[in-house]
Structures are given as C-alpha cells and as structure tokens.
Amino acid sequence: MSFLQDPSFFTMGMWSIGAGAIGAAALALILANTDVFLAKPQKATLEYLEDIDLKTLEKEPMTFKAKALWENNGAVIMAVRRPGCFLCREEAADLSSLKPKLDELGIPLYAVVKEQVKTEVKDFQPYFKGEIFLDEKKKFYGPERRKMMFMGFVRLGVWYNFFRARSGGFSGNLEGEGFILGGVFVVGPGKQGILLEHREKEFGDKVNLVSVLEAARKIKPQTSASEKK
C-alpha cells in the first residue's frame, strides 16, 4: 500500500478527474451546438390553424377564428416569441421591409402575440407594420409547443444572432415569457393551404425573406361568386 503514501499518485488522480470533467464539459458544449437536443417541430395543418381563436387588442376585444386573416387574400403571419425581445424586433422589422411588395400582391401582414404585458405590444408596433392579435391559448406556437431554455445561451448560433441584432441597432427588455419558440407562416386563401411554415429552432432564427416572397407569390386570391359569372 506504499503507493497511497506517494503524493504523485494523488496528483495524477486529481489531474485525471479534472481532465475528465473538462472533456465532459467540452462534449456537452459540442452537443448543445448541434440539433440533437432540439425539440422537433410538429407541422401544423390548415384545419388546425383555421380553428384558432384570436382576439383584437382593443379595450373591448373581439374574438374571431384565425382563418378570417387569410380567407380571401391569404396572409403572412408572424408568431412573435416575445415583443420586448430585440431579436423578435429585428425579425419584425425584416418582415415589415417586405410590406410594399406584399401590398402590391394584395397580401396582408399580421402578427400574433401570446400575452399582453404592460406596454410591450405597443412598444413592438414601431418595428412591425401590420396588425397584431392576441393568441391567448398559444395555438400558433403549436401544435406541440417547443421551448428553448438556458441551453440557448451556450449555442454559438444564438450568440451570433445576438451580435447581429445588436450591431443592427436593435434593443429590448426582459418583460414577458420568452422561452416558447415562435415562427412565420404564409397561408393561401380558402383551402390553398400553408405555403410556408418556418419554426424558430433557436433564439433569433429568422425566416428567409426570399422564401417568404416566393411563397407569397404562389398565393391565388379567391374569386368571388359574382366574378365567376
């Protein structure tokens, strides 16, 4: 048992434990930056989206079915993760830059939020050039809601998104729930269906604007009965 009295034995053991801990931490960091632990999004059906209850943001809110947003002309809809988030404000501004082209196509731009906290929606409106509605049951964030918790803060992609938005002059706050991931939809009128469904996979994972326009150009406006005659 003389080796127990040898200081080098304990030093070697401590180095082994330390190296193992560093290796485990490195492996965890690598895995956190892959899609291994990310919740896989479940695609929404048109029927699912049509049946969602939305509310207007007036003092006396009106409740209506979401299909009213795209029933006649289709629509581009942003499901906002958190209005006070500077990454969400960046994406809202990006989508709003498409509004002149969407207006030419006759396609409205909308957003839904999952809660009203203080003046967060009002403060979000300068970044978003469309109407905003409340989705209290968070249906646009489903059918299966996905969350990104603190793992998001060790993802290199998220940090890149942080720096990109900050360098673009966007700022925000920490008000409200911000872990349930959002997305963007392009929906055609009537039964044309969902033409684009972008699900945010991490904080600041923006939709591709070219893809939004390509999907919007596929929209075929509904023809009224009088026009058919």
pLDDT reported for residue 8: 53
- Band of residue 57 on the pLDDT scale cut at 50, 70, 90: very high
The three-state (H, E, C) secondary structure of the chain, written as one string: CHHHHCHHHHHHHHHHHHHHHHHHHHHHHHHHCCCCCCCCCCCCCHHHHHCCEEECCCCCCCEEEHHHHCCCCCEEEEECCCCCCHHHHHHHHHHHCCHHHHHHHCCCEEEEECCCCCCHHHHHHHHCCCEEEECCCCHHHCCCCCECCHHHHHCHHHHHHHHHHHHCCCCCCCCCCCCECCEEEEECCCCCCEEEEEECCCCCCCCCHHHHHHHHHCCCCCCCHHHHC
pLDDT tens digits along 79-135? 999 999 999 999 999 999 999 999 999 999 999 999 999 999 999 999 999 999 999
pLDDT value, residue 174 = 93
Catalytic residue list contains 85? yes
Q: Say whether pLDDT at 29 is over 50.
A: no
> Does position 50 have pLDDT exceeding 80, yes or no?
yes
Query: What percent of the chain has pLDDT above 70?
Result: 79
Which one of 75, 85, 121, 134 is the catalytic residue?
85
Please state, rounded to an integer, the average pLDDT across all residues of the chain. 86
**Residue 37's pLDDT is what?**
55
CA 210 to chain CA centroid, nearest Å:
17
* Residue 88 annotated in active site: yes
pTM for the complete prediction? 0.82
How large is the average pLDDT for residues 35-49?
Answer: 81
Given 44, 52, 66, 88, the catalytic residue: 88
Tens digits of per-residue pLDDT, 185-222? 999 999 999 999 999 999 999 999 999 999 999 998 77
